[in-house]
Amino acid sequence: MSTPILQARNVTKTYPGVKALDNVNLTLAGGEIHALLGENGAGKSTLIKYLTGVHTADSGSLLISGAEQTFSNPSESTEAGVGVVHQERNVIREFTVAENIVLSRTPKKFGFIDWKKVNSEASRCLAMLDFDIDPSTPISKLSSAQIQLVEIARALYTDTKVLLLDEPTASISDAEAAKLFKVIHRLKDDGAAILFVSHKLDEVYAHCDTVTVLRDGKTVLSDAALADHPHDEIVNIMVGRSLASLVTPERSVNTAVDPVLELRNVTTTAGHGGISLDVRPGEILGLYGLVGAGRTELAHAILGRERITEGELLVNGKPAKIRSVKDALHDYGIGYVTESRKEEGVFLDANITRNIAATTWGKLAGPLGVVKVSDERALVEKYVQELGIRISSQDQLAGQLSGGNQQKVSLAKWLAADPKILIIDEPTIGIDVRTKRSFYELIWGLADQGLAILLISSDLAEMITLADRIAVMDSFTLAGTVENTRHYDSMSQDVIRLIHAKAPSH
């Protein structure tokens, strides 16, 4: 066998209170796409941070093309041909798209920045992804999916022998992901080694050749051929025990009860027109559509972030005037689990207790408005257990949790608020298989207790598993509604037919 391009040997890394990596081994060969799998908190991102000089390790070694290397900062790893897209967004918001892409090696002429080259180089990288955006656009104007694409373009800027991708497809659309995979396969054919982290096992099986699995910071499967390990076996290896198949409960919604949330022929400042829908207590209404169909914006209209210019919003049969997320919760009992947890879901600088209990101070407060610390802690502990949030203590800052665990904190915060209506936007992005299941069971349990749930998801399988009815959106209008018959194939055809029926012909 030829020398591997990258080899990490016996890497151990401890954060205060957590052994994130425990004697981990990783081998990446050229011309191969290697999956790095493991549950939330298993150590995947920590390993990538070690390989790129963001963090040092307590012990262990790193070899690039057989030669030992120590990266003490990220630019040293870029110099050595290691490209990376981290899980968290990592851009300078005040800079343009082009400036961010060439940051590691800004083109210069006679000692000055060569702006023409900056833009042409950036355009070249963007074109590889078919990403049509003006390179002089400031980053602050972009959506999180667009920023993700800029970061991928940046990883393609220098000649990379090794490309490390930490959940690059978590927040981009399927069409954007397809373009990314095309580039990855081209780099693979050119002999690069690619490391790919994802909780979406379907795409892992579709594109990866080899696999390493981490569990609790240990390598439990090392450099194996993915084809030798079927899906269920890989899940068992990740989880450390066999996972029984998910049992979908018998669900029935009492249609004799009046809806708690109703939109009647609603037009909004975001661009929606003629939207009518309703959700009953105990019902899970799915809102499905392609990225850009206007689903998140509709949630924003309900929460008062966009204005409703025509039509009516009713809560419990009465017209509602909601101006903010705070109004929505306090006056109408509507909770909102957001898709962009980094921007609005989690306070990264606050500890776990504060984050989860943030919505409940009103409820926990005694007659003088004082919240007893022990009550707060007990409530938070309940959700930490229920969702299996991996923390070293409630005092840990949310910013120190793994990506998936931050998502769980955001969810726990809204569940703790005990709302009557819960709007959930892309709840399982970046969440591992086991937690996804406990999350589904939790949602069913909440609906059984009478909570009305409006679920936004781009994952059709998830939608069909969870929703009682699926409202399909397209171009800011409602294309139709599909009742859940639990027959995956016929339902997905119905949903897709609705989207196509609405789509303008070319």
Q: Contact residues for ligand ATP (CB under 6 A)? A: 15, 18, 20, 38, 40-46, 87, 390, 400-405
Cβ 402 to ligand ATP shortest distance, Å: 3
HSE, CB side, 13 Å, CA atoms: give it for residue 428.
25
30 binds, among Mg ion, ligand ATP, none (CB under 5 to 8 A by kind): none
Interaction between residue 351 and Mg ion (CB under 5 A): no
Q: Which of 4, 53, 281, 403 binds Mg ion (CB under 5 A)?
A: 403
User: E-assigned strands of 360-436?
Assistant: 421-425
Torsion sign, CA atoms 331, 333, 338, 344: positive
Q: Which two tokens stand for residue 54?
A: 């963001």
> Angle at CA 461, nearest 5°, toward 455 and 467?
35
> What is the C-alpha to C-alpha distance for residues 263 and 381, in angstroms, rounded to an integer?
37
In this chain, which residue has its C-beta nearest to Mg ion?
45
Distances (CA, A) of 416 to 303, 304, 419, 504: 19, 22, 8, 43
The residues that bridge with 422 in the sheet, in sequence order, are 335, 453
> What is the C-alpha to C-alpha distance for residues 438 and 367, in angstroms, rounded to an integer?
36
Complex with ligand ATP: residue 34 or 272, whichever CB lies closer: 34
Q: Within 41-80, which residues bind Mg ion (CB under 5 A)?
A: 44-45
Cβ 426 to ligand ATP shortest distance, Å: 15
Distances (CA, A) of 324 to 287, 303, 306, 330: 21, 6, 10, 10
Q: Within 80-109, which residues bind Mg ion (CB under 5 A)?
A: 87
Complex with ligand ATP: residue 119 or 351, whichever CB lies closer: 351
41 binds, among Mg ion, ligand ATP, none (CB under 5 to 8 A by kind): ligand ATP
Complex with Mg ion: residue 86 or 272, whichever CB lies closer: 86
* Burial per residue of 389-406, b for 16 or more beta-carbon CB atoms within 10 angstroms, e otherwise: bbbeebebebebbbbbbb
Complex with ligand ATP: residue 44 or 436, whichever CB lies closer: 44
Interaction between residue 30 and Mg ion (CB under 5 A): no
In this chain, which residue has its C-beta nearest to ligand ATP?
404
46 binds, among ligand ATP, Mg ion, none (CB under 5 to 8 A by kind): ligand ATP
405 binds, among ligand ATP, Mg ion, none (CB under 5 to 8 A by kind): ligand ATP
Cβ 93 to ligand ATP shortest distance, Å: 21
Complex with ligand ATP: residue 434 or 469, whichever CB lies closer: 434
Asked if residue 414 lies in contact with residue 421, where contact means CB atoms within 8 angstroms, the answer is: no
Complex with ligand ATP: residue 20 or 384, whichever CB lies closer: 20
Task: Provide the binding-site residues for Mg ion, judged by CB under 5 A.
Answer: 44-45, 87, 402-403
